[in-house]
Amino acid sequence: MLAKIRKLIVQVDETRIEMGRPVTPPTRRALAMAVIENPFAGRYEEKLDALIAIGEELGGLLGDKCVAALGIAPGEAQSYGKAAIVGEAGELEHAAAILHPKLGAPLRKAVENGAALVPSAKKRGGLGCAIDVPLGHKDAAFVRSHFDAMEARVSDAPRANEIVVCVVVTDSGRPLPRIGGLQAHEIKGEDGLR
C-alpha cells in the first residue's frame, strides 16, 4: 500500500420507512472512508504525484469495500460519489490530487461501467468534521431520482497531518422520489449525462 492508513471505516445506511411509507425495496447507501497520512502536510509541494497515486489505490479499495458491504454484484450499483477532508496542515489541493486525476477509473471498475462523472466535495477540517458526499447516478448524471448526498464523518479524524478520503456507492436512489425528471429506466448511459 502506498497510503499509510490509520483507520478504515465502512457504513451502510438502509431506509425501510420514510414519512410513514414503506420503502420497497429499502434504499441502501454504503460509505467507505480511509484515514490516511498526508505526505505533504506542513509544507508547499509543487508535485503532488504521490497523492495522485494514493487516490488511484483508494478508488479501488474503497469502491470494493462499498460494494462488498452492500452485498451486491458490481453491476447492481446505481449511484456514487467521493469526497475528502484535509487536516489543518494540508491544503485543498491535496484533496484534489487524491480525488480527481486517478481515483475514478478503479472506482468505476468496482461498480462496472460508470459513464457519468463522479460528483465530489472537499474541504479542510478538524477532528469530527462532517462532509456531505454528493451522489449521482453512475451512468447518467441527469437521473433526478438519484441526486442525493450522504454525510461522512470520523470522530477522531482528520488530525492535522491526515486526510479522510470518502467513497459512497448505493444500490438505489432517494427513498420516495417523486419530482419527475429523467428516470433511471430511460437512460442510454453512453454520454454520462442521459
Partner 1 sequence: MIEILRVFTHVEDIHHEFGPVAATPLRRGAIGAVLTNPFAGRYVQDILPMMEALQPVGIDMAQQLRAAMDVPVERIESYGKGAIVGANGELEHGALWHVPGGYAMRELLGWKGDRNAYVAGKPGAAPTPAGQTQNALAIVPSTKKVGGPGATLDVPLTHINASYVRGHFDAIEVRVPGAPLPDEIVFFLVMSTGARVHSRVGGLKAEDISKWDGLR
> By CB under 8 A, is residue 151 in contact with partner 1?
yes
> By CB under 8 A, is residue 150 in contact with partner 1?
yes
Minimum CB distance to partner 1, residue 31 (Å): 9
Return the bridge partners of 164, or none. Answer: 35, 85
DSSP-assigned states of every residue in 129-178: -EEEEEEEESSBTTBGGG-EEEEEE-TT---TTEEEEEEEEESS--SS--
CA distance 67 to 36: 21
C-alpha cell at 28: 441502501
C-alpha cell at 19: 414519512
> By CB under 8 A, is residue 15 in contact with partner 1?
yes
> By CB under 8 A, is residue 7 in contact with partner 1?
yes
Q: How many residues bind partner 1 (CB under 8 A)?
A: 19
Which among 8-16, 87-95, 117-125, 139-147 is the span making contact with partner 1, rule CB under 8 A?
8-16
CA distance 32 to 145: 22
> By CB under 8 A, is residue 11 in contact with partner 1?
yes
Minimum CB distance to partner 1, residue 132 (Å): 9
For binding to partner 1 (CB under 8 A), which residues are involved? 5-18, 69, 150-151, 153, 155
